Amino acid sequence: MAACDGVSIDRVYQQRAGWRVAALRDDPESARLFLADGEIPEEFSLLRQPELASLLERIARDGRDGFYAGATATTLVKGVQAAGGIWTLRDLADYRVIERPALRFKLKDNRELISAPPPSAGGVALAQSLGMLQQLPWQSADKLQRSHYEVEVLRRAYRDRGLLGDPDFVTPPIAQLLAPSYLQQLASSIDPQRATTSASLAPAPAWREGDHTTHFSVLDNAGNAVAATLSINLPFGAAFSVPGTGVVLNNEMDDFAAALHGSNTYGLSGSAANQIAGGKRPLSSMSPSFIDSPEAFATFGTPGGSRIPSMVLLAMLSYLDGQPPSAWVSTPRYHHQYLPDVIEHEPNTFSPVEQAQLQQRGHNLKVVERPYGNQQVLLWNKQSGNVEGASDPRGIGQAQLFSPWPDSKKPVK
């Protein structure tokens, strides 16, 4: 398997390791696993993880107990405690995966958004953004006007993010946030010619009710689809590896609101609904999503921290505009998350003239020095049976059809 035989170091690995090289050097086990004599490995050299290969074999043999119980659990807990952590064997034994109903939101033209529910905030942000845009003339607008509309709906959707949290601890007001009357209210508050400063927006309503990530999209010949986003938060997570396991731990605790008046690594503001509590799952921006209709089925998803919903939204709008999957993943990116009150954008997203025009409308802009995200998408045309995939040109992934489907083997309608 790859963990034992090794995988080739590529430019993306080198880039991500460069972002966290100091943290990797601080942990001897992480430095041993992911660096070469304390330096970033050379391109095309091999990353081998025999301890991880043994752990994966135990999981394959023993299932859940191959990780959350037995020798693996004991080694993990001892390693974490030796480094000053507070894990216990009971913490691992008590962990359970929770399956929740997908978030569903009706769109125009008999389409439906199917996305991640809380504790992911991404699905709600996408539904709100699309719901507001459906009431605005975004498709007939020129590029600048369209960008203005999209920034303004994102500003409002990210403002409402603070109402969301783990449904086992709080009751997210999903029905109210997605109510047509509320989305109409939000859309009507958008000035077509001027930016709404985030400071001028009222706080999110108090309803009366109790980079690193990866993504893949898969469709089989029976029409079953998966859009899966997995995260360890920052590249190399906590940059702490448990000796003897090959496992690098995540730093997803950063997704909680450690302080109500602070912000996390991605600049997202804290909220009471997302405060730390035992057994609680943190709010996330992950947004694996489908758009389904009688004519077609499309999947979307990407890594990218707090920018995930805005990236997925831009890809969805490209799809709704009738563009091919290759255009969804390559569209220039920009992002607004309510606070800080700034449009972040890739270097070539806006021309100097367009930047000046957006600033004249009251927008603040900030160039993100490097392209971001790594979107993976699929489109199934239910009428023809044709399937297209696309992988983000910013990354090194590939879209592959493993075998041509005879007519009798195409995905069912």
C-beta separation of 125 from 178 below 8 A? no
Residue 126 makes CB contacts below 8 A (sequence gap 6+) with 105, 113, 115, 157, 287, 289, 309, 312, 313, 316
Measured over the CA atoms of residue 84, residue 89, residue 94 and residue 98, the dihedral's sign is positive
Active-site option among 74, 197, 213, 331: 213
What secondary structure does DSSP assign to 280-309, as a single string?
Answer: PPPPB----EEEE-SSEEEEE----GGGHH
213 annotated active-site: yes
C-beta separation of 42 from 36 below 8 A? yes
How far from the centroid of its chain's Cα atoms is residue 323's Cα?
22
Helix axes 143-159, 122-133, angle to 10 degrees: 140
Measured over the CA atoms of residue 154, residue 156, residue 162 and residue 164, the dihedral's sign is negative
Provide the annotated active-site residues: 213
